[in-house]
Structure 1
Amino acid sequence: MTGAVFRETAADPRTQAVPLSHLSLEIGHLYLEDFEAGPAQLRRHFAQVRPWAEAARATAAAGPDGRRPRISTCFLVDDYFTRFSSPAELVPMLLAEADRAGLVIDYLARESSCAVTGGTPVAEAVAGRIVESPPPGSYGPRPPAAETGWLANGERSPVARAPQAMQRAAAWQPPAETAARRHSVFLDAELWSEDPGGRRLWSCPFLAAVWQLARLGLLRAAGEPVLVPRAHTGGPFPDDWDDLPALIRLNPRADPFAAYRTCSVLPSRFLPVEHAVRVILDQTEVDRAALDQVADRSARERTPVPASVADRISYVFYAGP
């Protein structure tokens, strides 16, 4: 006789849901070179962003039931690859230039929080969920991404080996995209590098993939949401980036940070980075409970969401540096 197996409810990790907007609209991503160019560069950026942001809002508003869509805006500042200026100096300037262009930044995030948040190794956890899609006919001759730190969207060119005596060298073969449409657009993305001490430095595309998962409300750590917004108290901003919350809500009336879909308005230099983001997301096993929560909520709101996580993100790339 087989005995029944009982498990306490508390033993099962519970995945906490997060509030969701219809659209998360990213209106900027600031690096050192942008800041060094001064307020004029931010002014030009926001002037380019505004018409596309308005178009994204109009598209989101064209829903079947005519209800006001929930749309939140966000801005990402690089404090991971380079530490520059300070929140006390940069954030007021950023908000002033956005306001000058008629834009509101609801949420401000630090890029370092896509690597580690509150002691949680977020990037490392996402890297552990990568499931590589083997190209047709391949038998795993290449080391996995977990070892190499590289992830491709297909099959790389075979490694050329010196021919043995009396044998001809093998002919060169091109790489091949797994889901090619007639012709391949092959991409091999570096996920991280390591310094001489073995410390891992996450790549810009990989952190951007983590950022997209956060904006889609799909990041969890032991069932708890990652990158939870903290409200700005209204006082002065700190002098050190480490003293600024990982994700801060600047607009008290903002719709939720996470959303069913995301749209990012960025300079065209980000296009190759975001191509790599899609390759990474297509091969990441996202938390199933979080996916189910979004699917259930979107169905109740009659807001269709693509099954593919990568298809939930969209972009506008404007010409410029």
Structure 2
Amino acid sequence: MTEAVFRETTAEPHTRSVQLSHLSLELGHLYMEDFEAGPERLREHFAEVRLWVEAARASAARRGGGKRARISTCFLIDDYFTRFSTPAELVPLVLKEAEKAGLVIDYLARESGCAAADRIEIAESVMHRLVESPPPGSDGSRPPVGQTGWLANGRRTPAAGRAALGEVKGWQPPQETAARNHSVFMDVELFSEQDGRRLWSCPFLAAVWQLARLGLLRHLGEPVLTPQPWNGEDFPHDWDRLPPLLQLTPQAAAFSAYRTCTLMPNRFLAVEDAVRLILDQVQVDAGALAQVAERSAREGLAVPEAVAQRATYVFYEEPVNPPRAEGI
């Protein structure tokens, strides 16, 4: 005789899936300093980016066995660290200059949406998913990353002090946990405190942005930072009235993808190195990971197991005296 088993349906964990493109191609990740430099700066950026777009598309097609690749494009505007102009003035300018270069922006995002969106503290949620990799010899004396706001990829230089029997400890270098022959040690600031509120760093928000583009962000099993269709009306004069993520092209491929490729100035190289360090230590929603693995296998696509390896970049050389990459 078979015994019936009753369970509360609300007790069953469920992770809702999202549609996935083959590639999320970011056409810009610029800050207010870039926009302050005028339309010429945007024009120059898109002209340079245009040279690399076809190569990224060809690479995606090759990985897919020559089949037509599903590729969506996106563009991110900084409205978190500084606010310049208004969406009504800035967004049409971005779209116009992209069109002049022969580019189409499918999705437009506000960086503040990587901190919080739809009444969800997204950055805080990702912070709680960080799992620090304890380096050899750790004694647990250092406070966790949630308190310090710093995340490293290995053992920091020990503080000066005395060992047993009063022996003076000599200087010891930092050490990367997964070093090959020599260490490349990094210590990344994830947030600071200003006027009683937490200010997230650019690398941490960019890591959240990558997780969204890879379709791996969830809150209680539900996708977050999801695209909202734009109805074609004029853009608002207030940044807070602009949805965190807009779908500008009605028939665009899915926003999230198996892989991402970001085209950006080379001054952001250090920031994106820090992003990869963060991604390596985020415990991503297991259900979301399983869904990506299952669907990629069904499509015959190889997707790296490590989340950080799913993000690729093209860094281009900037003109002399570019806008500084600080304030990011």
State the TM bucket, normalised to the shorter chain. Answer: over 0.9
Q: Which residue of 1 aligns with 2:185?
A: 186
Q: Deviations over 1:264-299 (max 9, x none)?
A: 011011111111111111011000000001111101
Q: Which residue of 1 aligns with 2:136?
A: 136
* Partner SS state of residue 253, structure 1: coil
Q: Deviations over 1:295-319 (max 9, x none)?
A: 1110100111111000100001111
Establish whether residue 124 from structure 1 lines up as the match of residue 137 from structure 2: no
**Amino acid of the structure 1 residue aligned with 2:112:** S
Q: 2-side partners of 1:144 and 1:63: how far apart? A: 40
Q: Which residue of 2 aligns with 1:236?
A: 234
- The Cα of 1:167 is off from its aligned counterpart by 4.3
Q: Deviations over 1:146-188 (max 9, x none)?
A: 1100000000000113x59x94531100100011111111000
Q: Alignment partner for residue 291 of structure 2, among 293, 307, 312?
A: 293
Q: Alignment partner for residue 204 of structure 1, among 202, 205, 222?
A: 202
Establish whether residue 54 from structure 1 lines up as the match of residue 54 from structure 2: yes
**Amino acid of the structure 2 residue aligned with 1:34:** D
Q: Equivalences for 1:92-103 in 2 at 5 Å? A: 92-103=92-103
Taking only aligned residues, the RMSD between alpha carbons, in angstroms, comes to: 1.7
Q: Which residue of 1 aligns with 2:172?
A: 173
Q: Equivalences for 1:245-284 in 2 at 5 Å? A: 245-284=243-282
Q: 1-side partners of 2:307 and 2:192: how far apart? A: 26
* Partner SS state of residue 315, structure 1: strand
Q: Deviations over 1:131-157 (max 9, x none)?
A: 000112323232211110000000000
Q: Deviations over 1:167-216 (max 9, x none)?
A: 4531100100011111111000000000142x100000000000000000
Q: Which residue of 2 aligns with 1:42?
A: 42
Instruction: Give the number of aligned pairs.
Output: 317
Q: 1-side partners of 2:113 and 2:274: how far apart? A: 20
Establish whether residue 195 from structure 1 lines up as the match of residue 194 from structure 2: yes
- The Cα of 1:4 is off from its aligned counterpart by 9.0
Q: Equivalences for 1:15-34 in 2 at 5 Å? A: 15-34=15-34
Q: Equivalences for 1:297-312 in 2 at 5 Å? A: 297-312=295-310
Q: 1-side partners of 2:4 and 2:156: how far apart? A: 50
Q: 1-side partners of 2:83 and 2:12: how far apart? A: 40
Taking structure 2 as the reference length, what is the TM-score of the superposition? 0.93
Seq. identity, %: 66
**Amino acid of the structure 2 residue aligned with 1:170:** K
Q: Deviations over 1:11-41 (max 9, x none)?
A: 2232111000000001101211101000000
Q: 1-side partners of 2:125 and 2:5: how far apart? A: 30
- The Cα of 1:5 is off from its aligned counterpart by 7.0
Change (3 A) 1:106 1:8: same
**Is there any run of 5+ residues in structure 2 with no aligned partner, and where?**
323-328
* Partner SS state of residue 261, structure 1: strand
Q: 1-side partners of 2:167 and 2:138: how far apart? A: 23
* Partner SS state of residue 62, structure 1: helix
Q: Which residue of 2 aligns with 1:70?
A: 70
- The Cα of 1:64 is off from its aligned counterpart by 5.0
* Partner SS state of residue 290, structure 2: helix
Taking structure 1 as the reference length, what is the TM-score of the superposition? 0.95
* Partner SS state of residue 75, structure 1: strand
Establish whether residue 109 from structure 1 lines up as the match of residue 109 from structure 2: yes
**Amino acid of the structure 2 residue aligned with 1:257:** F
* Partner SS state of residue 108, structure 2: strand
Change (3 A) 1:130 1:173: same
Q: 1-side partners of 2:215 and 2:115: how far apart? A: 16
Q: 2-side partners of 1:210 and 1:31: how far apart? A: 17
Q: Which residue of 2 aligns with 1:87?
A: 87
Change (3 A) 1:185 1:72: same
